[in-house]
């Protein structure tokens, strides 16, 4: 049986989510130990527990150690079932991370599924909804998989209360055509605001316009209704055949200019890197790429997160990842997946 060290590498919830997702896909049971062992609150937190229970529901799995604070979990799926699911996450936990957990399995299931997830839609340390919708889903389409996303309610940390719906169609996998970068990227800004004074959004918008040379109508301010206050600065970058989304969350005690400044800095780095795929999108693409069996793309230097993710995937699927820096272009990396010999 597969035994996974949950404290290895990045050592957080990602190891757990990848393992859960691929166990459902392959039907392989696994034991994960030292879950988040080196974190300040080690073991399963409530949002992780929700992910475990969601995966268990989708795959009819038997679990041991699915308890709060547990650092050891045994997971044995029985039968993967497509259908209607609804998961509610406490503590304003990220809806996109729970989606990420069950998505690979439902893409491999026998019929279409609809998953409703309640919780946070724009969380720190998690992909924001628009990133999944506009950057990740179109690439999935190109690989032969269907994912339609709808945001019903916004949910911001710490109040939560958001809701997303994912319509998932089984995939007929095809290898990913290496995405290409266009000469003239198109940028669009969008700022979400809930229960926060309007001038905050205006100040953020003016930073984006000034620093990135955007026109007045190229940055939108969108007030939304949510259970609690929230502020998100987003920049959509049309990089050619790929769309990237860069975001920053407004924080108490951080000036509006600085929040927008973070987006500007990340966008500039991505534009300067001269690759179509950023760090976070690269991370998300590993599993679909492995499920498709082959493919490659160029990106920035892979993060610890990405490397750990690749290692866990290799434990479940008969694939191998090659992460190589381009010989002639420093800072440009090529990630390739191939069948393991």
Contact residues for another protein, defined by CB under 8 A: 41, 45-47, 49, 68-69, 88-93, 118, 157-161, 227, 251-253
The C-alpha atoms of residue 223 and residue 64 are separated, in whole angstroms, by 44
Q: What share of the chain is helix, strand, coil (3-state, %, to 5)?
A: 35, 30, 35
The C-alpha atoms of residue 67 and residue 280 are separated, in whole angstroms, by 29
Query: Which tokens hold the place of 217?
Result: 């109508």
Smallest gap from Cβ 89 to another protein, in A, equals 7
CB nearer another protein, residue 14 or residue 243: 14
Asked if residue 231 lies in contact with residue 250, where contact means CB atoms within 8 angstroms, the answer is: yes
How far is CA 124 from its chain centroid? Answer: 12
Smallest gap from Cβ 224 to another protein, in A, equals 16
The C-alpha atoms of residue 50 and residue 135 are separated, in whole angstroms, by 25
Smallest gap from Cβ 6 to another protein, in A, equals 16
Query: Which tokens hold the place of 132?
Result: 């999944």
Give the three-class secondary structure for 83. coil
Smallest gap from Cβ 227 to another protein, in A, equals 5
Give the three-class secondary structure for 288. helix
Smallest gap from Cβ 155 to another protein, in A, equals 8
Strand 73-76 to 62-64 pairing: antiparallel
CB nearer another protein, residue 83 or residue 158: 158
Closest-CA residue to 307 (of 334, 327, 286, 289)? 286
Asked if residue 11 lies in contact with residue 67, where contact means CB atoms within 8 angstroms, the answer is: no
Calculate the CA dihedral of residues 75, 80, 81, 84 and round it to 10 degrees.
50
Asked if residue 156 lies in contact with residue 92, where contact means CB atoms within 8 angstroms, the answer is: yes
Residue of 141, 199, 305, 326 with catalytic role: 305
Smallest gap from Cβ 269 to another protein, in A, equals 27
Euclidean distance between the first and the last CA atom of the chain, given in angstroms as a whole number? 20
Q: Specify whether 305 is catalytic.
A: yes
CB nearer another protein, residue 93 or residue 276: 93
Burial (Cβ within 10 Å: 0-12, 13-18, ≥19) of residue 32: buried
CB nearer another protein, residue 124 or residue 318: 124
CB nearer another protein, residue 41 or residue 79: 41
CB nearer another protein, residue 89 or residue 264: 89
Q: Which residues are identified as catalytic?
A: 305
């Amino acid at each position: 049986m597969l035994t996974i060290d949950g404290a290895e590498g990045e050592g957080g919830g990602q190891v757990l989510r990848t393992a859960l997702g691929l166990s459902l896909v392959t039907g392989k049971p696994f034991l994960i130990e030292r879950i988040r062992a080196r974190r300040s609150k080690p073991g399963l937190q409530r949002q992780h527990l929700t992910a475990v229970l969601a995966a268990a529901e989708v795959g009819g799995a038997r679990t041991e150690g699915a308890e709060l604070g547990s650092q050891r979990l045994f997971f044995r799926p029985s039968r993967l079932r497509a259908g209607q699911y609804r998961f509610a996450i406490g503590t304003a936990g990220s809806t996109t991370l729970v989606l990420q957990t069950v998505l690979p399995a439902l893409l491999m299931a026998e019929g279409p599924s609809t998953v409703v997830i309640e919780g946070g839609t724009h969380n720190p340390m998690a992909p924001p909804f628009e990133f999944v919708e506009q950057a990740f889903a179109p690439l999935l389409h190109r690989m032969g998989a269907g994912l339609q996303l709808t945001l019903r309610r916004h949910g911001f940390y710490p109040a939560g209360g958001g809701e997303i719906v994912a319509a998932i169609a089984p995939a007929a996998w095809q290898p990913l055509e290496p995405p290409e970068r266009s000469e003239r990227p198109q940028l669009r800004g969008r700022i979400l605001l809930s229960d926060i004074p309007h001038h905050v959004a205006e100040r953020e918008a003016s930073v984006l316009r000034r620093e990135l040379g955007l026109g007045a109508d190229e940055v939108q301010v969108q007030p939304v209704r949510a259970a609690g206050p929230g502020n998100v600065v987003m920049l959509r970058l049309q990089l050619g055949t790929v769309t990237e989304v860069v975001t920053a969350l407004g924080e108490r005690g951080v000036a509006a200019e600085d929040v927008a400044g973070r987006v500007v800095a990340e966008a500039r780095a991505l534009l300067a890197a001269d690759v179509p795929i950023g760090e976070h999108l690269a991370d998300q693409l590993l599993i679909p790429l492995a499920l498709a069996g082959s493919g490659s793309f160029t990106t920035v230097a892979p993060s610890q997160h990405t490397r750990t993710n690749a290692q866990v995937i290799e434990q479940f699927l008969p694939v191998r990842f090659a992460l190589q820096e381009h010989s002639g272009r420093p800072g440009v990396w090529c990630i390739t997946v191939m069948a393991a010999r």
